[in-house]
Amino acid sequence: MTILRTTYREPAANVDQGVPVVLVHAFPIDHRVWDECASVLSTISEGEQDRPFALYGLEMPGAGECPVPSAEQTGPVADDGAYPEAMDRMAESFVQEFLSTGHTKAVWVGISMGGYLTLAVHRLHPEVVAGVVLCDTKSEGDGPKARANRLHIANVCETEHTVEPVMHFAQPQPDDSDFKKSPAFVDLFTRWINEQHPEGVAWRQRMAAGRPDETPQLAKITVPAGLVSGTLDPSSAPDRMRPMLEKMTGTECAFTTVYDAGHFTCVEKPDVVARAILDVQHRASAM
């Protein structure tokens, strides 16, 4: 699979560097969900006590300009249309792309679907993981209803060649954050979603529908870790993410509650999320 890499920062090779950070984006958009947060992270990590570190954003297949994988790359298809091996195949490709930078370990940061990928990377290749930050996500696989809904969305996107089934991500609800209710958010996410390819949206939904339950991985995380949760997130609010913290018995895990933020905390409150990432990066670099 092709994985596109955005380099937000690359220190000179001859300087003493801290552990790099890899940012993995949410569905249904692409790496740009991290742009503002990456900018803040770069700025706040320029103090004298900080060793400069590389900062990358990796693009999922089918997101943005990243091509949709072929049938051979995707692997088996379940009877209901889900892709049971695609998550692991994608994780392998992510690791290969990261290693091509010349680095061997990173703090892996995933938001929402990016969190699923981060846990898969840890399961398959813990040797490349120096730290973990999981934002607005969960460890469980999809239940029957959620899986069926993903596959329905995939079918509509493919048959009608449209991204309309995921446009609700750009439409604020009464209980959303102030930023998500703003014209700036609506305009930004509407543009980002309209710039996605329907086939790419569908592929990611089929991949996520077929992903395994990663809950057993939580206790196996021994590197520095952090969880980030928006108080207004309908699917990953603090009361839903704290049980993950309780299962992470092998590590010191910081829990960051992001007030007045929903499911896209890195866009809604980039400064808060950047500081949560920097905390884990500092701890990983000190090991």
- pLDDT for res 48: 57
Tell me if 40 sits within 8 A of 74, measured CB to CB: no
User: Which pTM does this prediction carry?
Assistant: 0.96
**Is residue 50 pLDDT above 80, yes or no?**
no
In total, the chain counts a number of residues equal to 287
Give ∠ CA 40-252-220 in degrees, rounded to 5.
110
**Is residue 116 pLDDT above 90, yes or no?**
yes
What CA–CA distance (Å, rounded) separates 40 from 180?
19
90 — pLDDT class (breaks 50, 70, 90): very high
**Is residue 72 pLDDT above 60, yes or no?**
yes
- pLDDT for res 11: 83
- pLDDT for res 47: 72
Contacts of residue 115, defined as CB under 8 A and 6 or more positions apart, other chains included, come to 24, 134, 135, 136, 137, 138
pLDDT per position as a tens digit, 215-242: 999 999 999 999 999 999 999 999 999 9
Tell me if 262 sits within 8 A of 238, measured CB to CB: no
Instruction: Report the percent of the chain where pLDDT is more than 90.
Output: 94
pLDDT per position as a tens digit, 241-260: 999 999 999 999 999 999 99
Neighbours of 136 (CB within 10 A): 30
* Selection from 283, 224, 279 nearest residue 256 by Cα: 279
Residue, of 128 and 48, whose pLDDT is higher: 128
13 — pLDDT class (breaks 50, 70, 90): confident
Token pair listed for 73: 């790359």
**Ranges 14-23, 227-236, 261-270: which has the least confidence:** 14-23
pLDDT per position as a tens digit, 121-178: 999 999 999 999 999 999 999 999 999 999 999 999 999 999 999 999 999 999 999 9
- CATH class assigned to 4-141+214-285: alpha beta
Mean pLDDT calculated for residue range 13-37: 94
Q: Identify the DSSP state of 129.
A: E
